[in-house]
Amino acid sequence: MVVRHPSSYRQGTAGSPVAHVPLTREYKTISENPPPYITAHPSESNILEWHYIITGPEETPYHGGQYWGTLIFPPNYPFAPPAIRMHTPSGRFQPSTRLCLSISDFHPKSFNPAWEVSTILIGLLSFMTSEEMTTGSVSSTAAERRYLASRSRWWNSTGNGSNSKANPAMKGNVKAGDGGAKFRAEWADVDVENWEWIKKNKVDPVTGTRLDSDNAASCRPQLGIAASGSGHQAQAVVDAVVQQREAGTGWIYRNKLLVAGAAIFIYVLIARIVSGDGSSSS
């Protein structure tokens, strides 16, 4: 990771006299002693705009995922909280949507000026690994969240596959369509690592799917059929397919053995009747 020197941030439009001092100090602290699973830094052009990456913890459906987001601090921080967004699809939050948390700008009165950037991001990680719902959160299955985690590096560095387009849409649009430009500008070293990962794992830059024959394990789970469902669910699907297949065929085809047996029985019966008639006439 490229570490920016705190003295490179200027006061003025990029940072107010109030927020500049604590944010510069907190950047130094979080760079030297980052919390587990979290890394963060201010944008070079604006100390009020912070970018973070949360790495999905073990024993969670986000394990190994790379979740990029932003904290937009007000000029009077730390006396008011930042707006919190997570851009990378996670199955937990709506991408690039302001999150309603006790540590975000939705609740300025509940914000404690003693809280720092690391406190805010630890709180975000804690909320992410819970199932509590709020504005900006979504409900997904564990299988769907694991699927999104497996695609997170690709999503960040390609802008959801838009890097292959001749004219990628607005470079400032971090939701999708920027070709990964915004992520690359803030996380140049991580972006290089992601592209190495994409090539090593033979991931299609356009679709995010594996190009080799071992892609079965990374197939997207079918919504409505739980990945951990019972055998009864699987049997129900099989039965439904059989019913649909049989609905498209005729009664005679489905009961061809019965029809064949009946035909043989009738043939034998007729043969006996004919034979009997011949014997009586002689």
Query: Confidence band (pLDDT; 50, 70, 90) for 178?
Result: confident
Q: Is the pLDDT of residue 211 over 90?
A: no
Q: Is 219 a catalytic residue?
A: no
Confidence of residue 230 (pLDDT cuts 50, 70, 90): very low
pLDDT at 13: 44
Selecting among 14, 18, 100, 142, the annotated active-site residue is: 100
Query: Of the candidates 175, 153, 152, 155, which has an alpha carbon nearest to the alpha carbon of residue 163?
Result: 155
**Alpha carbons 153 and 194: distance in angstroms, whole number:** 6
209: how many CB neighbours lie within 10 A of its CB? 14
Could you give the CA distance from residue 132 to residue 11 in angstroms, rounded to a whole number? 38
Express each pLDDT in 88-146 by its tens digit.
999 999 999 999 999 999 999 999 999 999 999 999 999 999 999 999 999 999 999 99
